[in-house]
Amino acid sequence: MVQTSLNAPTPALLDALTRVVGPAHALRAGDPAQGQYLREWRDRYVGVSPLVVRPGTTAEVAEILRLCNAARTGVVPQSGNTGLVGGQIPFEGGTEIVLSLDRMRAIRAVDADGFALTAEAGVTLAAVQEEARAAGLMFALSMASEGSACLGGALATNAGGLAALAHGTARAQVLGIEAVLADGRVLSGLSSLKKDNTGYDLRDLLIGSEGTLGIITAATVRLVSPPRDVATAFVALPSMDSLVALFRLSQGHAGPGLTAFEFMSARAMEFVGKHGPAAVPLGDVSAPCSVLIEVSTAEAERAQPVIEALLAEALQRGLISDARVAASAAQQAAMWRLREQMSDVQKHEGGSIKHDVSLPIARVPEFLERAAAIVETVCSGARPVPFGHLGDGNVHYNVSQPVGADTAAFLALWETMSEAVHGLVAEMGGSISAEHGIGRMKRDALRRFKDPVALDMMRAIRRAFDPNGILNPGKVL
């Protein structure tokens, strides 16, 4: 999208913004406290900003946007700063205000009878889950970074996570939204109604917009009853060719009770074994593919028989070569910790070029085989480390540098590698972004792979919401 010309903030604007939040919550350029807001956790993007403002209320967010819109100054929204595509980081020019929602941490309401909870954008996903548990319910949006990832950012990127197979992405967890528009008006839509068919669904439009249409300040989220029984198993497959057949068999046995089907390549398991948490009995960890399966049931003492019957048939059909069922809640947690370490352990192996893609489920094994050949042509000796959520076709296709290679030289291949991998994804009918968003990392790729008509519609929507182009400029479009 061609942005309307934006202005660097004047000293008068910086002073006015400081008055809105108070000096203690306005971090000027040069303040060491700015650092955590300008750098993403992988250090791929490091920005510059004349001011980081930390409003404590929706009214303060509204006033900040009103002032910046009048001055035509860009604003970059941020909550937990756990994003992986650079959408929450300002550009290096130093002309954009960073608006952090990390002070907006209130749980505004818990409606256990209505299976709903209203929380502000700076509340971590873990805190929302804790409040839901205290009410005897469950908030289903879960991911490895949930202790630091915040509700606002998760909704702005339509995060997926570990429970998307059974419960859907972030969009499916939301009943209502409160958001501040570019001109400072507040969209007050924190309804907990399950049905509201009164025109365009602005809620779903704002979710996944990455802060380019409005800044989400609070949301009413959907809660569900927790399962009464959960069984978890870690299984080894003789080859990737068994992966889809095992998933189909798992669905046949568990139905909607299949709440997780996470696959990990042999190299991913190797890295976890070298750098990850303490081992839990898993059986054959050197198998070509390993899968974590979870079955949840509304009836007590029902999940274990289901998963045992599933594994018995899978073994009889030759779909798996080994299996371990967790014998306790501690073993279940240990199995999940192993899966959640998949990204972190790769840091110990040097540079990693990461892709978050989705494919038709039936074509995932084919993609993994063809992508490995493509990676080798781009960088001989590079090591693919794929893992992901097979149930929704989401593959985290990460590539670690060759052993002993120069990290900087390898990471310089990021764009070349991604273009090649994304080209294969598009050829196979997939998506270049499954759950991390577009941000600035995939903005050029979006123009290449997105339908031109869809892009035109997206640009028109963005202009309608933000005519001056101040909201997260240069991101997504």
End-to-end CA distance of the chain: 5
Banded model confidence at residue 51, pLDDT cuts 50, 70, 90:
very high
Helix/strand number for the chain, H first, E second: 16, 17
Flag the least confident range among 141-150, 180-189, 418-427. 141-150
CA distances from 384 to 235, 275, 409, 432 (A): 21, 17, 17, 17
- DSSP notation for 319-349: S-SEEEE--SHHHHHHHHHHHHTTTGGGGGG
Task: Answer yes or no: is pLDDT of 1 > 60.
Answer: no
Task: Answer yes or no: is pLDDT of 242 > 90.
Answer: yes
Please answer whether residues 98 and 87 qualify as being in contact, where contact means their C-beta atoms are separated by less than 8 angstroms: no
> What local confidence, expressed as pLDDT, does residue 2 receive?
36
As a whole number, mean pLDDT of residues 425-443 equals: 94
Higher pLDDT, 276 or 458: 458
Task: Answer yes or no: is pLDDT of 3 > 60.
Answer: no
pLDDT tens sequence across 300-322:
999 999 999 999 999 999 999 99
**Amino acid at position 329, single letter:** A
Task: Answer yes or no: is pLDDT of 84 > 80.
Answer: yes
Please answer whether residues 77 and 437 qualify as being in contact, where contact means their C-beta atoms are separated by less than 8 angstroms: no
Percent of the chain's residues with pLDDT above 70: 98
Please answer whether residues 75 and 468 qualify as being in contact, where contact means their C-beta atoms are separated by less than 8 angstroms: no
% helix, strand, coil for the chain, step of 5: 40, 20, 40
Please answer whether residues 361 and 274 qualify as being in contact, where contact means their C-beta atoms are separated by less than 8 angstroms: no
**Angle between the N-to-C axes of helices 303-316 and 243-254, in degrees from 0 to 180, rounded to the nearest 10:** 140
Q: How far apart are CA 156 and CA 396, in angstroms?
A: 20
Q: Which domains does the chain have, with CATH numbers?
A: 107-222 (3.30.465.10), 229-340 (3.30.70.2190), 350-436 (3.30.70.2740)
Please answer whether residues 272 and 376 qualify as being in contact, where contact means their C-beta atoms are separated by less than 8 angstroms: no
Q: How many CB atoms lie within 10 A of CB 476?
A: 22
Helices (H), 360-413: 364-378, 407-411
Please answer whether residues 424 and 370 qualify as being in contact, where contact means their C-beta atoms are separated by less than 8 angstroms: yes
Beta partners for residue 295, in sequence order: 231, 258
> What local confidence, expressed as pLDDT, does residue 41 receive?
81
**Displacement of CA 368 from its chain's centroid (Å):** 21
Task: Answer yes or no: is pLDDT of 77 > 70.
Answer: yes
Task: Answer yes or no: is pLDDT of 269 > 70.
Answer: yes
Task: Answer yes or no: is pLDDT of 292 > 70.
Answer: yes
Q: How far apart are CA 146 and CA 128, in angstroms?
A: 10
pLDDT tens sequence across 355-388:
999 999 999 999 999 999 999 999 999 999 999 9
Q: How far apart are CA 307 and CA 313, in angstroms?
A: 10
> What local confidence, expressed as pLDDT, does residue 278 receive?
61
Which residues have CB under 8 Å from 48's CB, separation 6+? 29, 38, 90, 91, 92, 93, 94
Q: How far apart are CA 25 and CA 55, in angstroms?
A: 7
> What local confidence, expressed as pLDDT, does residue 284 receive?
74
Q: What mean pLDDT, rounded, does the chain reach?
A: 94
pLDDT tens sequence across 191-223:
888 888 889 999 999 999 999 999 999 999 999
> What local confidence, expressed as pLDDT, does residue 471 receive?
98
Higher pLDDT, 186 or 192: 186
User: In 3-state terms, what secondary structure has residue 40?
Assistant: coil
As a whole number, mean pLDDT of residues 234-244 equals: 95
Dihedral angle sign, alpha carbons of residues 458, 459, 465, 466: positive
Beta partners for residue 187, in sequence order: 179
Rg (CA), the chain: 23
Higher pLDDT, 143 or 474: 474
Residue (of 398, 395, 396, 358) closest to 375 by Cα position: 398
Helix (H) or strand (E) holding 207: none
Q: How many CB atoms lie within 10 A of CB 438?
A: 23
Task: Answer yes or no: is pLDDT of 282 > 80.
Answer: no
Q: How far apart are CA 285 and CA 293, in angstroms?
A: 15
Banded model confidence at residue 280, pLDDT cuts 50, 70, 90:
low
> What local confidence, expressed as pLDDT, does residue 110 receive?
97
> What local confidence, expressed as pLDDT, does residue 427 receive?
97
Please answer whether residues 244 and 366 qualify as being in contact, where contact means their C-beta atoms are separated by less than 8 angstroms: no
As a whole number, mean pLDDT of residues 397-416 equals: 96
Q: Are strands 258-265 and 383-389 parallel, antiparallel or unpaired?
A: antiparallel
Q: What is the pTM of this model?
A: 0.92
Flag the least confident range among 48-57, 288-297, 338-347, 398-407. 338-347
Banded model confidence at residue 4, pLDDT cuts 50, 70, 90:
low
Task: Answer yes or no: is pLDDT of 44 > 80.
Answer: yes
As a whole number, mean pLDDT of residues 3-23 equals: 92
Please answer whether residues 174 and 201 qualify as being in contact, where contact means their C-beta atoms are separated by less than 8 angstroms: no
